[in-house]
Structure 1
Amino acid sequence: MEMQADPLAFSLDPRLEADTQHLLDLPLCRLLLMRDARWPWLILVPRRAGIVELFDLAEGDRSSLLTETTQVARALSRASAPEKINVGALGNVVRQFHLHIVARSSGDPNWPKPVWGFESAIPYPPGADEALVRSVLEGLA
């Protein structure tokens, strides 16, 4: 049985709020930039309350999530020219359903291993994220 969540009750997990910058609200998801300059790293969070697993989303929302994931991944790829775009849904620390979209290239920190749990985040220097953000947002326009 699919959960029918009240979108008006949506709130972002405090850990995601602390670790990210809000970029834009798409029709379904909130688009976030991870505050870690080591990788071009975006996160999509469906604006639905109580969603923990992909199967908690209504069928139409799952379809919208795939569309938005494709659009964001394509925009990130154009903005950063990586060798690979990684898309992953974990939830061991933050239970609220969210999708990581990370641009990876050989030679980046921890290549080819995962980005999660690797040392500490390195904040963007002031203004250093602006070109990436502008390019991603233009790619979504």
Structure 2
Amino acid sequence: MSIQLDKNLQKDCYRLAESDDCLWLLLNNRYFLWMVIVPNTTQTELYRLTGQEQQKLTQQSNLISEFISQNFACDKLNVASIGNIVAQMHLHIIARTTVDPCWPGVVWGTEHKAPYPIDEVLNIQSKLQQFCLDKKISGYHFTTPEIKPAL
């Protein structure tokens, strides 16, 4: 099943993995390891999700948070549901370090942008796939991400 993705998320993110329940995306800005979870729902607000949907999204958030913490330098994880431009339900998980260009401020709307080379995207995706194998997490389909134009 393919989740219809908002055009802004489609433009700004690499699609790393997909299941029937959600998409795992990587924002195309190598200054921050910034992943986005898009659950398969038409709801736009967290409180409108059923208890089961909220539980699944929390589980997804915990998985991606653990993946980031185990595989990348990170002093703090920022997790947020911010959707003023993109109404589609999505959850941001951002690895922050004390040396990133926005520390200790917020990353929303930053001018610090640099696209990923495709080999780095593939490396992150490979680590994610290995993490799933190690954790015996199944049901995700990993496809080769499409190359994005420069920011």
Q: Which runs of 4+ in 1 moved over 6 A?
A: none
C-alpha distance in 2 between matches for 1:58 and 1:125 = 38
- Please list every run of 5 or more consecutive structure 2 residues that lacks an aligned counterpart in the other structure: 134-151
| Bigger Cα displacement from structure 2, 81-90 vs 120-129 | 120-129
Residues 56-104 of structure 1 show CA distances to partners (whole Å, capped at 9, x for unaligned) of 2221111111111101110011110311111111011111111000111
Counterpart among 33, 40, 52 of residue 47 in structure 1: 40
Q: CA RMSD in A?
A: 1.7
Query: Percent identity over the alignment?
Result: 31
Deviation at 1:129, TM superposition (A): 2.6
Q: Is the 8 A contact 1:84 1:105 kept in 2?
A: yes
With the length of structure 2 as denominator, give the TM-score of the two structures.
Answer: 0.81
- TM-score, normalised on structure 1? 0.86
Paired residue for 1:60?
52
Correspondence 1:84-95 to 2 at 5 A: 84-95=76-87
1:78 is the counterpart of 2:75? no
In 2, Cα distance between the equivalents of 1:10 and 1:56? 19
Total equivalences in the alignment: 133
Superposition pairs of residues 1-141 of structure 1, within 5 angstroms = 10-48=3-41, 50-119=42-111, 121-141=113-133
Which 5+ residue runs of structure 1 have no aligned equivalent? 1-7
